[in-house]
Structure 1
Amino acid sequence: MLGLASSPRALRWLSSGVRTQARARALTPAPAPGRISRETAPYSTVPLSYDLHEPAKPVADKQTSPVIFMHGLFGSKKNNRSMSKVLARDLGRYIYTVDLRNHGDSPHHHQHDYPAMASDVAEFIQQHGLKEPTLIGHSMGAKTAMAVALQHPELVANIVSVDNAPVDVRLASDFARYIQGMQKIEEAGVARQADADKILEPYEKSLTIRQFLLGNLHRPDPAQPVQKFRVPLSILARSLDHLGDFPFKDPSQVRFTKPALFVRGTRSKYVPDDVLPLIGQFFPLFELADIDAGHWVISEKPEEFRQAVIRFLEPKE
């Protein structure tokens, strides 16, 4: 069992609906891992599709201190479009919303785990010449942001992890059930989203979640009415166990000693109190913002989330 390597210091944020509870600091620094170059990286990277949201009054060019926004499982860059526009406006920074591998318009690849996704994002940062970016990720995107920070700390200024933690957990059975329902839709060869929704309803009662999942449907052949999912269901089905894992196990060997914000939904189970000491070991300068929401923090409480991010990223005196 890991011992407590950090001592929380209470903080208060004067923002409605947001409660910052702790900043943990390491007692001793750990050596940062070396950069994994494209030539020596053990993972084949894929080029990530992205949208660029430009601020009306930029404080720097699009390569300096941008934000890279990453979605969760079954999501895409479209999910964070509205929040990215707001953050670009409020921060004066360019926001890159990306499609992670096997999602949205990014290429499919048989390997779908956090080291591979982290390598994709590191390659994206280097290819676009981005300097000191902030990484924001929700759920699967949160663990990807953590993995990039630990694997390539020299490429990242800070991170915002939304409702996930650097621990191995078993994914809820909901995700496997979603894939079963989505596979049934493809087998049925549906032409209308209403028909797809009827097939999916026995697998998920929430209309909001069904609409989120069905947002992945498209017509690969415009001349044919049959709809398919953009996400490769068979690859994701085989990868579910990997998506519950976290690739770094020993915080005495690797730490991200730059600022990190962990935003959690207080009605979600993904960041329980008992993992906070481990977060402090991997991310000794972490801050914690609690928002009265479930797992879908950004869509459930967008204003509280915006306030938390602005507070974290605004210049400190």
Structure 2
Amino acid sequence: MLLKHALLPSWRPLAHQHLRTYSASAVYRRLKLAYDLHEPPKDAGPKNAPIVFIHGLFGSKKNNRSMTHLDIQDLRNHGDSPHDPRHDYTVLAEDVEGFIDEHKLENSTLIGHSMGAKTAMVVALRQRKPIANLISVDNAPIDAALKSDFAKYARGMRAIEDANVTKQSDADAILQSYEPTLATRQFLLTNLICASDGTRKFRIPIKYIANALDDMADFPFRDPDEVRFEKPTLFVRGTKSPYIADETLPIIGRFFPRFELADVDSGHWVISEKPAEFKRAVVEFLQDKQ
């Protein structure tokens, strides 16, 4: 999604057996991404550079509408964007680069959460588009096994489809066996739609996502001596989340030497758990870059 600056007044790292240089391979088939554009008020003053906001796994452009004046984007296999069997950070980054080209965006700030954070990092490190700033929300530029919750969510969503339920409440009842937290179940069920036969189906292709979970744990760059993003970068960390541990900070600093760290007292779902604190961290970072 795009945000206009006018609004401003337990994992374990996977062992690295060797350094793997990212390959600048040919561009794959880019998908045209769905998005919602929310312009700032006409009396908000001159427009500044846009912010491209990228959601996380199982998310969509619906999830962050509480962030005023956001322009919200769906990644492939999510929300209203097209589906494709390939789902890894190379093609996710190329889709975002295509979005930047399509909308002729210059000097954007990228904000990404979770899967979207790694996607944004890859776009920045590829250096194929004029990115001004980067904000990574609760993810780090490393190979790190995903929490087992994500595979569990995929199994629960498959169970809902297999049951051919016709009511949201029945879907929620099934999902309770896989996820006890109501807020998380509600988040996952935002992807549920009514099919033509009256049953509830997920708008995201569960099989594609389930097959891609290992790729979502990966990070395609291994050697920060070969590629860096030298522009201002903010890492927003949920202090109750395992995804940006203290031991990852040195590697973050090597890939992103101008990075700043903002801690928010939350779990992994930083934006929905603590929206005011998240917005404050973003605003302070971007105001300083004006």
2:63 to 76, 79, 88: 79
1:299 CA drift (Å): 1.1
Q: CA distance change for structure 1 residues 60 and 110 in 2, over 3 Å: closer, same or farther? A: farther
Q: How many angstroms apart in 2 are the aligned matches of 1:225 and 1:181?
A: 20
Contact kept, 8 Å, 1:261 with 1:287, in 2: the verdict is yes
Taking the aligned partners of 1:118 and 1:135, their CA distance within structure 2 comes to 11
Percent of aligned positions that are identical? 57
Contact 1:46–1:107 under 8 Å retained in 2: yes
Farther off after superposition, 127-136 or 149-158: 149-158
| 2:152 partner letter | R
SS at match of 1:164: coil
The count of corresponding residues between Structure 1 and Structure 2 is 268
SS of 1:79's equivalent in the other structure is coil
Q: Deviations over 1:165-188 (max 9, x none)?
A: 000011111111111111011011
The question of 1:170 aligning with 2:155 is answered no
- Trace 1:1-317 onto structure 2 (pairs within 5 A): 41-56=26-41, 57-61=43-47, 65-83=49-67, 85=68, 88=69, 95-152=70-127, 154-221=129-196, 224-316=197-289
Counterpart residue type for residue 46 of structure 1: L
Who is 1:20 aligned against?
none
**TM-score of the aligned structures, taking structure 2 as reference length:** 0.89
CA 1:129–1:59: 2 relative to 1, 3 Å: farther
CA contact (8 A) 1:122 1:155 kept: no
> In terms of Rg, which structure is larger?
1
C-alpha displacement of 1:316: 4.6
* Greater RCO, CA 8 A, separation 6+: 1
Give RMSD over aligned pairs: 1.7
> Which residues of structure 1 form unaligned runs of 5+?
1-32, 89-94
Structure 1 length-normalised TM: 0.81
In 2, the alpha carbon distance for the partners of 1:59 and 1:262 equals: 28
SS of corresponding position for 2:136? strand
Structure 2 unaligned spans of 5+: 1-21
